[in-house]
Amino acid sequence: MTVTIGRRDLLVALGGAAAAWPLAARAQQAERIHTIGYLNAGAFDPISPVLTSFLNALPELGWIEGKNVVIEYRFAENRLERLPEFAAELVRLKVDVIVGIGTLAPLAAKRATTTIPIVMTAAGDPLGSGLVASLARPGGNVTGLSTQTKDTASKRLEILREVIPGFRRFAVLGNAGYAGSVEEMREVSAAAQALGLEVDTLEMRRAEDIAAAFEQLNSGAQALYVCTDALANANRHRINILALGARLPTMLGLREYVDPAGLMSYGPHIPDLFRRTAELVDKILRGARPGALPVEQPTKFEFVINLTVAKALSLKLPEALLLRADELIE
């Protein structure tokens, strides 16, 4: 089911965040109410820490729901084919700015409008996907924040070497139909070569390809590296369960991918990116041109280990590694 959510419904669902917005302020009549379009390929989650981070940051910047800003939400519930339709809806509503989550949502928004400012959030590869012409000078109507997942590939492989005794071979699973994943797979292969590791590439283009990809696993693979994109996100639980069944430790790019059956993740702290997204939205609503705002990179990273999965895989994790982890899931 695809979800379209109005601001009143979301205020009810997000009672904690909404409670922070003063009732008196909401009741005041503003000279002009700005509208933010929020476009997400994923599912609506009323307790999402990333969405809450964005919503909590807005009133701190002076944007109060019902006083001077409203938000139109569109969640595609992992039905990626609905993104163009929802982007077109937001354009017809003449929103003042569109916040696009990930890479596919802002791409859909960019195809729908060349005039409404777009702030991409946690985009995997803004350059390779064609969202912007330059990170320093985006030009056009798009700016935002990138995860630059591929830039941390070598760090993830180094962590796997600490976890797996005699680590020498692994598989990388990525969406061959998405430029960001293709680039990340190249980066992973280059990092593997530099570290003297062998890598088997497993490709998928749709959910139905995942099981077949696992059937192609080389018997010598000792771990699975999963590239980050919308397809992997929508099927992360299935991928983790299949990997656990194959007794393969998984290395993932985002904290959200770890629960419930993934082993580890190393990547940007996504709630922090959403907080900074609110800051970019604030600048644009106050008159800044998106094309003049440089694309920002992550400044806060997190390393997460699922101890339950480690135990299921009979992995004895080094104490030094556990001490470096930002979160241990038990």
CATH topology of domain 3-147+269-301: Rossmann fold (3.40.50)
- pLDDT of 130 above 50: yes
Q: Which conformational region is residue 33 in: left (phi greater than 0), alpha (psi within -120 to 50 degrees), or beta? A: beta
Strands of the 3-5 sheet, one edge to the other: 3-5, 69-75, 34-40, 97-101, 118-123, 142-146
Percent above pLDDT 90 for the chain: 79
What digits encode the pLDDT tens for the residues 38-86?
999 988 887 788 999 999 999 999 999 999 999 999 999 989 899 999 9
Nearest of 107, 105, 35 to residue 77 by alpha carbon: 105
* Structural domain spans, the chain: 3-147+269-301, 150-253
How much is the pLDDT for 27? 44
What digits encode the pLDDT tens for the residues 156-209?
999 999 999 999 999 999 999 988 899 899 999 999 999 999 999 999 999 999
- Main-chain dihedrals φ then ψ at residue 258, nearest 5 degrees: -75, -45
- Main-chain dihedrals φ then ψ at residue 165, nearest 5 degrees: -60, 135
Q: Do domains 3-147+269-301 and 150-253 have the same CATH topology?
A: yes
Would you report the helix, strand and coil content of the chain in percent, each value rounded to 5?
A: 40, 20, 35
How much is the pLDDT for 28? 45
How much is the pLDDT for 18? 45
Orientation of helix 83-92 relative to helix 104-112, angle to 10°: 50
Percent above pLDDT 70 for the chain: 91
Please report which confidence band the pLDDT of residue 90 belongs to, taking 50, 70 and 90 as the band edges. very high
In CATH, the number for domain 150-253 is 3.40.50.2300
Alpha carbons 99 and 278: distance in angstroms, whole number = 9
Nearest of 71, 177, 95, 180 to residue 130 by alpha carbon: 180
